[in-house]
Amino acid sequence: MKTLYIECNMGAAGDMLAASLLDLLPKEKQDYVIQKLNSLIPYKVKVIRDRTKKCGIEGCGFRVFVNDIEEQSADEYEGINNQNNYVYDHTHEQSCNHDEHTHNHDEHTHNHDEHTHNHDGHNHNHDEHSHNHDDHTHHHHHTKVSDIKLIVDKMKLSPQVQNDIIQIYNLIARAESTVHGENIDKIHFHEVGEYDAIFDITAVCLLLSMISPDRIIVSPIRTGFGSVHCQHGILPVPAPATQYLLENIPTYQGNIEGEMCTPTGAAILKYFADDFGQRPVMIVEKTGYGMGKKDFESANCVRAMLGEEQSVNDEKSDKIIKLEANIDDMTAEELGFAMSMLFENGAREVYTSPVFMKKNRLGTLLSVLCLVEDREKIVKSIFKYTTTIGMREIECNRYVLDREIEVSGKTTGEVRIKKSCGYGVVREKSEYDDIERIARETGKSFREVKKLYE
């Protein structure tokens, strides 16, 4: 199975996810992706990749320029009192004069001789740092999902990639709608509607369509802590919309103050991940490093690993759930009915054992085995068909032999033969129901019929 494992020990942002996936591809395919992205909205949006280091590790950087200006994505605020000591205040009246702010993108350098920032006081003087780019004033627009859709519809991308982009924005809109208490059609994206965020999401969707993994697993996500400045004021980390998107996903705070996971990163992972947890047993064929813009004492990067997922000892193994409940107030008939219903609802095995309970009371231990994906249905069934008020769950590794069914034909009739092999053993067994049927039809004993098919 072709598996992609995304390691988010330093959080997740859209540009870092895009860079980590880009780093998985050979150079000629990376070139194709960059050219493709640059053809989507020519003369307005330009993307480049570069190589950068974090804590001595070299990886891929993904940068988006809008009208030849690389802005810090408003989706990625600097935390208040974090290690960089910046406060990023995103306002709608901010205009930019680029005659005095030169960018040499061939060498990826910025001339800041006439572009003064007072970082000691955590202030940016935009009155003295106004940018006029050919009399073009860049305003940060309120962008709705419908506006995003119009932009995406004009991009020459496959319908699947376009749909993925829109669905990710729908997730973000739903999150914003919930935390702000507004109807979803009234939601405006102050930050993640900007072109840099759109292209981060577009790049991820395009890259995943090219890589086409069978399964995507994501590690627990580091969120960071503290506060951030945003359009609505000072908010806690994770920002409310990010926190909503991360519900039912394993996360942890970590020891770095600042916003480690952005709404864009959270929405991308929520949309694409098949599972969250530890890296499975897999043969990693390629590792990609996507570098963030901030510097911390830990390497600020997302690591993506692509390879073949393996089962233990190259034999077939999987996980199974064992659910147990102690019961002392059901009759044998009631338990028998409950067992039948559990089998009908997908239980792999159901059995009972006599047990002594509290006060030396004789009771029954009900044990039910089911697949992980059937857990919720079986739990509901146990509560429905038994009198228990609680149960225990044990997750077990199950080792099974490969199985196949063959049909053996004799004059007495056809019998299904179950063949099992693996771990150095081979077994065959005739199906009980078929042997019983022929024994009844022919008047022979069960043992006589069974010997005919051995």
DSSP state of 77: P
pLDDT attached to residue 145: 75
Tens digit of each residue's pLDDT (9 = 90 or more) over 383-415:
999 999 999 999 888 787 887 888 877 767 788
Nearest 5°: phi and psi at 61?
-110, 145
pTM tops 0.95, yes or no: no
Query: Contact, 13 vs 301, CB < 8 A?
Result: no
Please measure the distance between the N-terminal and C-terminal CA atoms of the chain and give it in whole angstroms: 37
- Work out the pLDDT band at 23, boundaries 50, 70, 90: very high
**Whether the bond into 220 is cis, omega within 30 of 0:** no
pLDDT of residue 186: 59
Residue 181: what pLDDT?
75
Query: Is residue 146 scored above 90 in pLDDT?
Result: no
Residues forming beta bridges with residue 410, ordered by sequence position: 413
Which domains are seen in the chain, by residue range?
2-92+140-309 (no CATH), 317-399 (3.30.70.1380), 402-452 (no CATH)
- The torsion angle over the Cα atoms of residues 135, 141, 146 and 147, rounded to 10 degrees, is 20
pLDDT score recorded for residue 378? 94
